[in-house]
Amino acid sequence: MFPRSIGRTFKKIFSDISPNTDQEFIKKYQISRQRTTIAVKFLLLLIIVPLLTHQLSKRIFILPLVEKMRTENSHLIFLNQEMEKEAFHELKIFRAELKFKSLLDSEWKNSPENVESKIKEKAIELAAKFRDKSANAISNIFADIIALITFALVIVFSAKDIISLQHFVDQIVYGLSDSAKAFLIILSTDVFVGFHSPHGWEIILEGFAEHLGLPASRNYIFMFIATFPVILDTIVKYWIFRYLSRLSPSALATLKEMND
């Protein structure tokens, strides 16, 4: 006989004037605070534990073991040709600096023997530098694997904490206004799949390749940039069309207005 909204309104009024309202509010607040505390601790755990595992495993046993193995093979200095080219370039610049100083300063004179001695010292210094760089890159590979295994174990043994974290994230997302949701969607899509995103992806991939001691092949990098952001953009558009229109139609309308 009556609309459901009227029933919900009366139900809310009766719950507000109930003598147990304060106790129920305090109980809900305590539960919400407890969930938030668990979620924040679990989020910090997901970040800190893999990082500590990576650094400790690398410094304690992986890096010393790699350095010992590479010391036995002292002729192995470079992991790839890019490291070798970088070392040769630095040595070439050092040789040019010596010649430049000798041309500018008439009092600065060196015999060819002294020049060759300084160049040899620089070459030994560069060899030690790139030998350490190569050992560090090899250690990063094994330390990253151990950190990923640790991350997976933390997730496997923390099922209840994952539920609290999901509730915490949902509470933050649903608590945002429609304008804030649209702003975050536009910001994230422009950063990762926007017009200027290829430069960022290029820097990230080059840094990742250097971290693992891999050659930063321009062809593979450009191939990745030409495919992955496009796939990511398609997934985002499908998510907006499929789910955002159902979860928050007003946010979708705000997003369209901001894009226009």
Interval 92-144: pLDDT, tens: 999 888 888 777 766 556 666 777 888 899 999 998 898 889 889 999 999 99
Q: Quote the DSSP letter at residue 217.
A: -
Give the separation between CA 260 and CA 257, rounded to whole angstroms: 5
199 vs 108, which has greater pLDDT? Answer: 199
The pLDDT of residue 22: 64
Q: Are 155 and 180 part of one and the same domain?
A: no
pLDDT in tens, 167-184: 888 888 777 787 888 888
Same domain, 81 and 106: yes
Cβ atoms 170, 246 nearer than 8 A: no
Q: Tell me, what's the pLDDT at 28?
A: 73
Residues with Cβ within 8 Å of residue 68, at least 6 apart in sequence: none
Domain for residue 168, yes or no? Answer: no
Give the total number of structural domains in the chain. Answer: 2
25 and 119 share one domain? yes
Q: What is the mean pLDDT of the chain?
A: 82
**Domain residues for 47?**
1-159
User: 111 with 214, same domain?
Assistant: no
Boundary residue ending a domain (96, 127, 159): 159
Kindly state whether residues 46 and 146 are assigned to the same domain.
Answer: yes
22, 86, 174 from 182: Cα distances, Å: 36, 45, 12
Report the pLDDT averaged over residues 46-53. 93
Q: What is the pLDDT of residue 102?
A: 75
Of the three residues 159, 192, 216, the one that is the final residue of a domain is 159
The pLDDT of residue 91 is: 92
pLDDT classification of 13: cutoffs 50, 70, 90 = low
Clarify whether residues 81 and 9 are in a common domain: yes
Is residue 164 situated within a structural domain?
no
- pLDDT higher than 60, residue 216: yes
